[in-house]
């Protein structure tokens, strides 16, 4: 069966290192870390007191202030990233059939900040004082819903929730829907705003977070022998995906082509990846098969690379299983070393970063890589960005619950 080609025509980012794609990218290739001491709440007494927060963010700078107050922070981030992506893609809904534009924004947790705040209101002031906006602010699908309302899309509109793979699943699902003819254009990505007391306490309880409080900037150190856990982050990444026919009809420039998507389940453990990275390896192989390319055509991998002992070890093993003797020669980086781990937004942000790497011919570094690990012995682009023309890039995501996803992008080349 022949499928239409699917292109990226816009992308938007709001991250711990920038309020838009340009500033985020420049800081990432400059090796700038967005990790610092938590300012969102008083973290005294917590085992972890650091996070990668979005700084200097005022939602009223990007959207109607009244509407912003009725959105949780995670939905606000999705709106900002989506608006940037839509602007770059030159989306004018008045000139489009809005029923042919879909919106899929993944989130692993949804409006946790609002939920936790309203629990406190219930405790302190009683049930009649709970906000009437609690439910529409906490639901994970309300980022997608608000983006649809804000931009005016009327095609299918929903949320993917698959832990740290949520953003990749949103992009992969949109890709499949466009290829199957369900729509012409998609806004797809992920968003998360989890930095609140209950989330930090919960992740500490399951031994997932770094406790390197004495030096926040160096706390996230993927693939380093002294890694001790991930650093929680927040933000959003959104891509505009579009069929070739739609691109031609609208006459807009393309940034990259999405050529492959694969997903798998470990069926192993609620938090730990399957031994040997077997599930992640299957997702990578499925993405390669969907793309119709060979392993030797992958020139860069943006790894999941969480800075946890098991993830980085098993992801390395999974890459070796798929790429064999080629694995040591493929540049691999984990931008979580700078952004922290954005949970349900991570894979979408890293997909956008992979697209930017293709577009700019620059591979972002894995910062804080100082102590080699004999079990993580590949080329992790340590500490400094690398200038290298790229044709094809893979972006991996591995989530709690055994969710694995892999996306493959390449230079757009000539239209058929």
Q: Which residues have a catalytic role annotated?
A: 164, 304, 341
Can you tell me which residue has the tokens 């070796």? 320
State the DSSP string of 36-84.
EE--SS--TT-S--EEBPPPS--GGGTS-HHHHHTS-HHHHHHHHHHHH
For residue 26, the Cα-to-chain-centroid distance in whole angstroms is 17
Nearest to 253 by CA among 415, 76, 43: 415
Of 170, 210, 215, which Cα lies nearest the Cα of 306?
210
Q: Considering only CA atoms, which of 151, 156, 168 is closest in space to residue 106?
A: 168
Q: How many residues does the chain have?
A: 416
Give the span between the Cα atoms of 316 and 122, in whole angstroms: 46
Residues 352 and 237: beta-carbon distance below 8 Å: yes
Burial of 129 (0-12, 13-18, 19+ CB in 10 A): exposed
DSSP conformation letters of 267-330: -S-SSSPPGGGHHHHHHHHHHHHHHT--GGG--EEE----S-HHHHHHHHHHHHHHHGGGGGGS
Instruction: From residue 21, give the alpha-carbon distance in Å to each of 17, 27, 80.
Output: 10, 10, 11
Token pair 């938590």 is at which residue?
A: 38
3-state secondary structure of 263: strand
């Amino acid at each position: 069966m022949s499928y239409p080609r699917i292109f990226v025509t816009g992308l938007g980012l709001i991250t711990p290192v920038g309020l838009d794609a340009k500033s985020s990218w420049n800081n990432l290739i400059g090796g700038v870390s967005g990790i610092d001491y938590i300012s969102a709440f008083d973290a005294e007494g917590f085992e972890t007191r650091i996070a990668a927060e979005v700084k200097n963010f005022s939602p009223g700078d990007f959207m109607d202030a009244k509407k912003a107050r009725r959105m949780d922070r995670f939905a606000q981030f999705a709106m900002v990233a989506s608006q940037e992506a839509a602007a770059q893609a030159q989306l004018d809904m008045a000139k489009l059939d809005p029923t042919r534009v879909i919106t899929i924004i993944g989130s692993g947790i949804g409006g946790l900040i609002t939920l936790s705040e309203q629990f406190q209101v219930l405790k302190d002031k009683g049930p009649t004082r709970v906000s009437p906006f609690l439910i529409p602010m906490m639901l994970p699908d309300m980022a997608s819903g608000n983006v649809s309302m804000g931009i005016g899309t009327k095609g299918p509109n929903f949320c993917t929730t698959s832990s740290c793979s949520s953003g990749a699943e949103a992009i992969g699902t949109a890709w499949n829907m466009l290829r199957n003819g369900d729509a012409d254009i998609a806004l797809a990505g992920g968003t998360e705003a989890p930095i609140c007391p209950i989330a930090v306490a919960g992740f500490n309880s399951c031994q997932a977070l770094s406790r390197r409080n004495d030096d926040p900037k160096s706390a996230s150190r993927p693939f380093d022998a002294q890694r001790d856990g991930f650093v929680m982050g927040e933000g959003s990444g959104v891509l505009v995906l579009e069929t070739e026919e739609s691109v031609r009809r609208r006459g807009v420039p393309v940034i990259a082509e999405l050529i492959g998507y694969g997903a798998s389940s470990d069926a192993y453990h609620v938090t730990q990846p399957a031994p040997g990275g077997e599930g992640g390896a299957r997702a990578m192989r499925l993405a390669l098969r969907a793309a119709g390319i060979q392993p030797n055509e992958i020139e860069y991998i943006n790894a999941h690379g969480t800075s946890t002992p098991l993830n980085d070890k098993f992801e390395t093993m999974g890459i070796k299983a798929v790429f064999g003797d080629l694995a040591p020669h493929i540049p691999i980086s984990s931008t979580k070393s700078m952004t922290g781990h954005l949970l349900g937004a991570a894979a979408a942000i890293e997909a956008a970063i992979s697209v930017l790497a293709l577009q700019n011919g620059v591979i972002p570094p894995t910062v804080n890589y100082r102590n080699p690990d004999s079990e993580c012995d590949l080329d992790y682009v340590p500490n400094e960005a690398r200038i290298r023309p790229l044709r094809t890039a893979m972006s991996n995501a591995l989530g709690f619950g055994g969710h694995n996803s892999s996306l493959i992008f390449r230079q757009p080349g000539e239209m058929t």
